[in-house]
Amino acid sequence: MWKNIQRAQKIFSGTNEFNFCPKTYVFPDDYRKFCLERESSGSKHMYIMKPCDSSCGKGIKVIGQKTQVNKKAGYVVS
């Protein structure tokens, strides 16, 4: 779903129609982008990391300043 919203944000970049979602990263493809963004913010932000597949809340983690994030396939970070 995020990839479709991201595509719509690029197509309709002059409007606010698709600005309701937080910046989201799909691992492992966006792992480097996530690390760069996290470093540039000084790790001050908190993120939610969850499995891409429906898992009924299993595997969801809150990522804080000191949390080490590994490059795991099949995870979404917002």
Structure tokens at 9: 């944000």
What letter does residue 37 receive in the DSSP assignment?
A: H
Confidence (pTM): 0.68
Each residue's pLDDT tens digit, 25-73: 888 899 999 999 888 877 678 888 988 877 677 888 898 888 888 888 8
Give the residue from 23, 42, 47 showing the smallest Cα distance to 33. Answer: 23
* 74, 55 contact by CB (below 8 A): no
CA–CA distance, 20 with 40 (Å, rounded to integer): 23
